Structure 1
Amino acid sequence: MRIAVVNNFFPPRVGGSAHMSASLAAQFVAAGHEVLAVTAAYADAPAEEERDGYRVVRLPAVKMPQVGLSIDFDMSFASLRPGNWRRLWKLLDEFKPDAIHLHGQFFDLSWLAGIYARRRNVPVLLTIHTLLISDNKLYGGVFRLLDAVLVKPILRYLRPRYVILDKLGVDYCVERYGTSDANSEYFPIAVDTGHFAKPVTKDVRAEHEIGDAPLIVSLGHVIPLRNRLPLIEALPAILAVHPGVRVIVVGRVYHDAFLKRAAELGVSDALVVTGAVPKADVPAYFAAADIVTHDLNGGCGTASLEAMLSGTATIASVTEDNYPGIELRNGENVLLVRPDDSEAVARTVIELLDDPERRALIAQRESEMVRANFGLDVVAEEHLRTFEKMVSEADVLR
């Protein structure tokens, strides 16, 4: 098959959606398929390159201003640059895709490529990565309105088959977009197991002068949806029992409320904030950690799953039925707390630091669970089976 992968976010941009789309593309190539990846220009990344056996084309784009919304990444939109519609359609016409894999329901490249697919009768798979939600009532209302008057009508026209990653996403898509079992696949986030089989690139403890102190790592961009506040508010109780604890926050800081709260609580000295780090260095941070906490506001994304895979005890805030068809058992193969519950975070961290043997056992079970259910090879095979079915059905209708 010829598969076009379209995502406004793509490496060298870091983030779960970017890495997942690139990793799946590489896996499709490894399985013998042709892949074209189309994305938006980013920083000094080349306009075109060969990557892992497939072609990547980056279209000129306009970077949007950050305005404090809950999904406030440095987003770029290609449709705002003249001529990109024609460039994209020409690329796709030359590639002649059998199927198109879109990532992100509210990105303009997904819309443009989706319209192309509709006009050319090419089957489309759309992965929903980010939900348009916010705890802020004003922003939440704006997002709901955008979903109702813009995103939902576009999706109704595109008629994709959806890939939904977890229960929260399922509930959201049913409510906002009217999805159902008839037009959806429930595949989890894909984690590249091979990336964590490589030797670590650095000694994180030595670099940050942590020594043998208990270390909590929280890795991922800091945005309002993942604000780190439950961890910061848990720190006074944690430090009272384990005064040497250090916390490394790894990722670009788009929302600094956690730093202000740390200063108010007098725990700033326990924090190290690194900013974004290369993907190659991520395993080194997990290897250095005693505990990883990232998704404490609700969710369990790529960073948390990678931490579990690496064999480090990882705390997240989802329910045991979060992944359809995957059995999570709190305290056995996963560590779960309620969203935004700093007392539960403090209690869980203290229990883990007090009992290294239990911490190691749970970490091992987490790793086995992720490898069996979220491994890139497992998830990519499920995608390919779906592509093959969609392409066969499209051929019958032609």
Structure 2
Amino acid sequence: MRIAVVNNFFPPRVGGSAHMAASLAEQYAARGHEVLAITAAYADAPADETKDGYRVVRLPAVKMPQLGLSIDFDMSFASLRPGNWRRLRKLLDEFKPDAIHLHGQFFDLSWLAGRYARRHKLPMLLTIHTLLISDNKLYGGVFRFLDTVLVNPILRYLKPRYVILDKLGVDYCVERYGTSDANSDYFPIAVDTGNFEKPLTKDVRAEHGLGDGPVIVSLGHVIPLRNRLPLVEALPSILDKHPGVKVVVVGRVYHDVFLKRAEELGVADAIIVTGAVPKADVPAYFAAADIVTHDLNGGCGTASLEAMLSGTATIASVTEDNYPGIELRNGENILLVRPDDSEAVANTVIELLDDPEKRALVAQRESAMVRANFGLDVVAEEHLRTFEKLVTEADVLR
């Protein structure tokens, strides 16, 4: 098959959506399929390159301002640059895809490539990565309005087959977009197990002067939706029992409320912020940690799953039925707390630090659970089976 993978986010930009799109593209190519990845320009990344067995084309784009929204990070839109629809159409005409894999329901490249697929009667999958939600009532209302008047009508026209990653996404898509079992597949986030089988790139404890004391790593961009406040507000209790604890926040900081709160609570000296790090360094940060916490505002994304895979005890804030068809058991193969519950975070962290044997056992079970259910090879195979089915059905209808 010839598969076009389309996502406004793509490496070297870091983030779960970017890495998942690239990892799946690499897997499609490794299995003998021809792959073209189309994305928005980013920093000084090449406009056109071949890597990992497939071609990547980055279209000129306009970077949007940051507005303090729950999903606020650097976003670029290609449709704001003249000529990109023509460029995209020419790329796809030359590539002649059998199917298109879109990533992100509110990005313009998904809309443009989806329009192409609709016109040419090509099967398309659309993976829903980020939900347009906010705890802020004003922003939440704006997001709901945008979903209603813009995103939903576009999706109704495109008629993609949806790939939904978790229960929260399922509930959201049913309510906002009217999805159902008839037009959806429930595949989990894909985690690249091979990335954690390579030698570590650095000694994180030595680099940051962490010594031998307990280390909590929180990896991922800091945005309002993942604000780190539950961890910061848990720190006074944690430090009272384990005064040597250090928290290493790894990722670009777009929302610094957690740092201001740490100053108020007198725990700022326990926090180290590294900024964004290369993907290759991520396993080294997890290896340096005794505990990983990232998704404490509700969720369990790529960073948390990679931490579990690495064999480090990881705390997240989802329900046990979060992934359709995958059995999560709190305290056995995952560690769960209620969203935004700093007291629960403190109690869980203290219990894990007090009991290294339990911490190691849970970490081992987390790793096995992720490898069996979220491994990139497993998830890629599920996607390819769906593509093959859709392409066969499309051929029959032509």
Common fold: TM-score over 0.5 = yes
1:144: how far off?
0.1
Q: Which residue of 2 aligns with 1:285?
A: 285
Taking the TM superposition and a 5 Å limit, the aligned residue runs for 1:180-259 are 180-259=180-259
Matched to 1:23, the amino acid is: S
Matched to 2:235, the amino acid is: L
1:51: how far off?
1.1
Matched to 1:175, the amino acid is: E
Q: Which residue of 1 aligns with 2:66?
A: 66
Q: Which residue of 1 aligns with 2:363?
A: 363
Q: State the SS of the aligned residue for 2:260.
A: helix
For residues 314 and 15 of structure 1, the distance between their equivalents in structure 2, rounded to whole angstroms, comes to 18
For residues 70 and 50 of structure 1, the distance between their equivalents in structure 2, rounded to whole angstroms, comes to 34
Taking the TM superposition and a 5 Å limit, the aligned residue runs for 1:289-328 are 289-328=289-328
Matched to 1:79, the amino acid is: S
1:311: how far off?
0.1
1:339: how far off?
0.1
Gaps of 5+ in 1: none
Q: Which residue of 2 aligns with 1:77?
A: 77
1:366: how far off?
0.1
Gaps of 5+ in 2: none
For residues 227 and 12 of structure 1, the distance between their equivalents in structure 2, rounded to whole angstroms, comes to 23
1:259-303 CA-to-partner distances (Å, cap 9, x unmatched) read 000000000000000000000000000000000000000000000
Matched to 2:51, the amino acid is: R
For residues 302 and 51 of structure 2, the distance between their equivalents in structure 1, rounded to whole angstroms, comes to 21
For residues 165 and 73 of structure 2, the distance between their equivalents in structure 1, rounded to whole angstroms, comes to 20
1:182: how far off?
0.1
1:73: how far off?
1.1
1:344: how far off?
0.2
Q: Which residue of 2 aligns with 1:121?
A: 121
Q: State the SS of the aligned residue for 2:57.
A: strand
Q: Which residue of 1 aligns with 2:342?
A: 342
Q: State the SS of the aligned residue for 1:28.
A: helix
Matched to 2:80, the amino acid is: L
Please give the TM-score of this superposition, normalised by the length of structure 2.
1.00
Please give the TM-score of this superposition, normalised by the length of structure 1.
1.00
Q: State the SS of the aligned residue for 1:372.
A: helix
1:395 aligns with 2:370: no
Report the aligned-residue RMSD. Answer: 0.3
Q: Which residue of 1 aligns with 2:10?
A: 10
Matched to 1:379, the amino acid is: V
Taking the TM superposition and a 5 Å limit, the aligned residue runs for 1:164-179 are 164-179=164-179
Taking the TM superposition and a 5 Å limit, the aligned residue runs for 1:255-270 are 255-270=255-270
Between the two proteins, what is the percent identity of the paired residues? Answer: 88
1:109-155 CA-to-partner distances (Å, cap 9, x unmatched) read 00000000000111110000000000000000000000000000000
For residues 130 and 33 of structure 1, the distance between their equivalents in structure 2, rounded to whole angstroms, comes to 27
Q: When the two structures are aligned, how many residues end up with a matched partner?
A: 398
Q: Which residue of 2 aligns with 1:159?
A: 159
For residues 320 and 256 of structure 2, the distance between their equivalents in structure 1, rounded to whole angstroms, comes to 30
For residues 101 and 68 of structure 2, the distance between their equivalents in structure 1, rounded to whole angstroms, comes to 30
Matched to 2:194, the amino acid is: G
For residues 269 and 73 of structure 1, the distance between their equivalents in structure 2, rounded to whole angstroms, comes to 26
1:338: how far off?
0.2
For residues 252 and 396 of structure 1, the distance between their equivalents in structure 2, rounded to whole angstroms, comes to 48
For residues 266 and 366 of structure 2, the distance between their equivalents in structure 1, rounded to whole angstroms, comes to 33
1:223: how far off?
0.3
1:35: how far off?
0.2
Q: State the SS of the aligned residue for 2:330.
A: coil
Matched to 2:351, the amino acid is: E
Q: Which residue of 2 aligns with 1:380?
A: 380
Matched to 1:369, the amino acid is: M
Taking the TM superposition and a 5 Å limit, the aligned residue runs for 1:77-156 are 77-156=77-156
Q: State the SS of the aligned residue for 1:249.
A: strand
Q: State the SS of the aligned residue for 1:142.
A: helix
For residues 22 and 289 of structure 2, the distance between their equivalents in structure 1, rounded to whole angstroms, comes to 27
Matched to 1:74, the amino acid is: D
Matched to 1:95, the amino acid is: F
